Structure 1
C-alpha cells in the first residue's frame, strides 16, 4: 500500500525571527526621528558660535528630508539589482559613516554633507527595506506588531533628549557626537537582521479538506478566466466586423503580402494575445512590457517610472500636499522649539525635560491609538485630519504660555497629537490607493514631500532671520499645518454635497 505524498503550504513566520525584524526597524527610526527635536539642543551652540542664523537649521533639516526622498525613490530600482538586505546594509553603513563625519564637523557645509546628504540618503534607503521586510514576516499579526514597534520608537524618542543633555554636560559637544555615532552604528545591526523571509518561512501540511477547498477555488478562478476570455474574443470579433472596409484602389492596401486581410490579422493577433494571457505565459508578457518601455520616449518613461498619472487624481494630490505641509510644519516646529525656549530663558536641563515630556505624551498616544483601534474602526485620514486641526489650535495656546508648567502641559498636548500625524501616515495612503499602486504612490509621495520641504524650509528660516521673531515663525508654520486641515475639510464637504445631490 502506497502512502499519499504530503503537500505543504508556506506561511510567514508571524513571529520568531520576525521579532528581530521589528527591533531592527525600530533602531534606525529612533535615531532619525529622535534627533530632529534634539537637533537645536545638540547643534545650537555650535551654529551660534559659527555666527549662523536660524535659516541654517532650516536648510540642514530640509536637505535631510530632500535627500531621504530621492533615495527612497531609487530603492525600487536597487531592489531589482540587489537583495533587500544588501540595500539595507548599504543604508546602515552610510548612516554610521555620516555620524562619524559629524564628530569632526567644523562648518555648516560639513554638517550639510555629513547629516543632510549622507545620513538623509541612508535613512531613505532604510525605510523601504524595513517596511518591506516587516510586511513579509507579519500578515495576521501585522497591526499588533507594528504597534509594539511604534511603542519602542516612542520610548526611544522620549529618552533621546534627556540622553543628549546628559552626554553634552558630561562629555562636551565632540564627546556627545562620538557616543551618538556609536549608537547610530546599531543601524547596521538593524539592517543585518533583515533576513529574506524564505529563510524562516513556515511549511504547514495541507489536510484533505483544505486541499479540496484549494482545488475548488482554482476551478472557479479558471472558469471566470475562461468566461472573461470568451467575452473579450466575442467583443473583438464584433468590433472587427463593424470596422469599415476600404474599397476600390485602397482595398489593395488591406491585403498583405501573404494575401490575408489586415482585419483578420488584427483579430488573430488579439486572439493569440488572449491565449497567451489565459495560459499564464508571464515571460511573454514581461518581454512585451520591456519592449514597450524601450519604445517609450524620455518623458513617457519618467511618467511610467514615477507613476505620475496619479497626479491626475485630485484627491491623491490633496492628500500628498496636505501631508507634506503638515509633516514639514510638525518637524520644523519641534526643531525650533528648543531655541525658542532658550530665548525665553529656560535652561538646557529644563528644555530637555520639556522635550522629553512631549515625547512621553507621544508614547502614551501610540498606546491609546492601539487600544482604540482594537475596538473602533476609524478611517486613518479622519484621525490625521483631527490631529492637524487640533494641533493648529494648540499652537495658538503655546504662544500664550511662558512658565515651565504651562509649557510642559501644552508640549504634552502637542506631543499627544503628533502621533496622530506620524503613525497614521502610511495608513492614509494604504486605505486610499489600491494594493498594486501603493508602492509607487507612496514613493511618489516621498519624492514630492522631500522637495516641498526643501523649497519651503529656507523660506521659513528667512522669515525668522528677517523678523527676529519666533512667534511670527511659529504662526507661519501653523499656516502650513492649516494648509492640510482646511483643504481636506473642503474636499469632504464637496464629496458629501455631491452624494446628497445624487440621492435627491
Structure 2
C-alpha cells in the first residue's frame, strides 16, 4: 500500500487519507470480533487491516520529514520511539484484554484504540498554515520604472487598456520578475537594482498599478500537479470515480519507474533483505529456544531485551543524525553487519546469559539501521523523491515477504535444523551490507545519465 499512498494523497490530501486509513483499520478489527469462521479473518485482518494499516504507516513515514529540517532526526527518533513502545506494550496489553474480556471483547477494545489514530491524522495540516509571516522593507521605484511596469501590465491586460491604471501595493513575484527582465533588456536596470527588486518583490509599494488588472500565473503552471482534481460538476459521479482510479493507477505505475535508478534498486535490496531477515529471525527464535530445551519465558526475555535495545538505538541514532559530523551511512551499514553477526552467533550459544547478550546486540543492530531508514533515503535520493522511493522499497519488501517466509520454512523442513535457517537469514542481512558497496558506482551512473539528459536539450537549442 505504500505505492498507492502518494497518488491517494494527491487526490484526497494528507488528512483525509490518514483518517480514512485509520477508520478502515478500526473497522477491520471490529468486524473481526464477530467473525463467523476463521476463514473470515483472511478478509478482515489480512485484507482490510493490511490496506488501512499499510497506508497509515506509510503516511507517517512520508509526511514526517516534510515538517522538519534542522530537527528532522529528533522528530524521527520520537516517531521511532512510539513504534517501539507499541511493539513492547502491545502484546502484553492484548494478552491482558483477551484474558479479561475474551476474543470478542479484546478485539473490540483494540479496534476502538486504533480509532484514536484519527485524532493524530487531524493534525496533518499543510506546512503553509503555520509559517511565520515576516515584514519586509518597502521599496519605491523611480518614476520611469513605474511607467515601464505599467506599460508592461497594460499590454498583458488588453481589457484594462482603456481605463486609467492606478497602482497599489504589488503582491507576488510573478509580475516583478518579468518587469526586471524587461528593464534589463532595455539596459535601464542595473544588477544591484534587479537584485533589490527580487529580494523585496513581495512588499514593493508601487503607485501606478491596478492589481485587479494584473494577470497572475496560475498555480498549476508554476507547480506541476500530477494528480489534478476533477472539478466538472456536469460529469457523473461514477465517471469521476473512474477517472480518479485511473489517475491513481497511473501515479502508482509512475512511481515504480523510479526503480530504473540503480541507487533506488540498492535501497530496495537493502530493505528487502534486512527486514525479511530480521523479522523471520525474531519469529523463529522462540521455536528454536524451545527445541533446545528452553522455556517460553526465556525466549520472552530475549525478545524483550532486543526490543528495548532496539528502542534505545533508534532514538540515539536518529537524534545524532542532525549533527553534520555524524556519518549516517557508516552507521546505517554497521547496523547490517552487527545484525548479521548476531544472527550467525545465536544458534551456537548454549548458556542463557550469552543468548540474552547476543539478542541485545541484535536489537542494537536493528535500531542503528531502522533509526536511519528514511533519513538514508533522503540523504541518497533527496526529500522530493522520498514518497516514490519509500513506496518502491516497501513494494520490494512486501514481495520479499512472499518469497523469504516460505523459503525459510522449506529450509527448516528440509534440514530439520533451526540453526541452518538462522544462518540463511543472517546471510540475507549480510547481503544488505555488501550491496551498499555498490552505491558509489550507482551514484556515478545516475550522475552521468543526468548529465546526458541535460546536454541533449542544449544541443537541440544550439541547432535551432
Q: What's the TM-score bracket when you normalise by the shorter of the two chains?
A: 0.5 to 0.7
Q: Secondary structure at the match of 1:378?
A: coil
Give structure 2 stretches of 5+ with no counterpart. Answer: 141-169, 186-214, 229-245, 445-464
Match of 1:438 among 361, 364, 386: 386
RMSD of aligned alpha carbons: 4.3
User: Matches of residues 262-281 of structure 1 in structure 2 within 5 Å?
Assistant: 280-281=217-218
**Shift of the alpha carbon at 1:329?**
0.6
| Residue 364 of structure 2: aligned partner | 416
| Residue 331 of structure 2: aligned partner | 383
Match of 2:423 among 462, 475, 484: 475
1:117 aligns with 2:47: yes
Range with greater deviation from structure 2 (132-141 or 400-409):
132-141
Flag the 1:181–1:417 CA change in 2: closer, same or farther, 3 A.
farther
Task: Map Cα deviations across residues 282-317 of structure 1 (whole Å, 9 max, x no partner).
Answer: 5468899899xxxxxx9xx85983334433322321
TM-score normalized by the length of structure 1: 0.61
CA distance in 1, matches of 2:227, 2:16: 25
1:128 aligns with 2:58: yes
| Residue 67 of structure 1: aligned partner | none
| Residue 279 of structure 2: aligned partner | 331
| Residue 119 of structure 2: aligned partner | 192
Task: Map Cα deviations across residues 35-94 of structure 1 (whole Å, 9 max, x no partner).
Answer: xxxxxxxxxxxxxxxxxxxxxxxxxxxxxxxxxxxx222223322332432322222223
**Shift of the alpha carbon at 1:475?**
1.4
| Residue 400 of structure 2: aligned partner | 452
| Residue 23 of structure 2: aligned partner | 93
**Shift of the alpha carbon at 1:336?**
1.6
CA distance in 2, matches of 1:202, 1:431: 26
1:77 aligns with 2:7: yes
Match of 2:109 among 182, 191, 208: 182
**Shift of the alpha carbon at 1:490?**
4.8
Alignment check: 8 A CA contact 2:29 2:45 kept: yes
Q: Secondary structure at the match of 1:159?
A: helix
Flag the 1:109–1:199 CA change in 2: closer, same or farther, 3 A.
same
Alignment check: 8 A CA contact 2:29 2:111 kept: yes
Flag the 1:354–1:138 CA change in 2: closer, same or farther, 3 A.
same
Alignment check: 8 A CA contact 2:274 2:428 kept: yes
Alignment check: 8 A CA contact 1:162 1:353 kept: no
Q: Secondary structure at the match of 2:15?
A: helix
CA distance in 1, matches of 2:408, 2:44: 23
Match of 2:350 among 395, 402, 406: 402
**Shift of the alpha carbon at 1:334?**
0.9
Flag the 1:443–1:432 CA change in 2: closer, same or farther, 3 A.
same
Match of 2:134 among 202, 206, 221: 206
Flag the 1:92–1:304 CA change in 2: closer, same or farther, 3 A.
closer
Q: Secondary structure at the match of 1:346?
A: coil
Task: Map Cα deviations across residues 245-273 of structure 1 (whole Å, 9 max, x no partner).
Answer: xxxxxxxxxxxxxxxxxxxxxxxxxxxxx
**Shift of the alpha carbon at 1:152?**
3.0
Alignment check: 8 A CA contact 1:92 1:185 kept: no
Q: Secondary structure at the match of 1:399?
A: helix
Q: Which structure's relative contact order is higher, taking Cα pairs within 8 Å and 6+ residues apart? A: 1
Flag the 1:322–1:121 CA change in 2: closer, same or farther, 3 A.
same
Give structure 1 stretches of 5+ with no counterpart. Answer: 1-70, 231-277, 292-297, 497-504
TM-score normalized by the length of structure 2: 0.66
Flag the 1:309–1:366 CA change in 2: closer, same or farther, 3 A.
closer
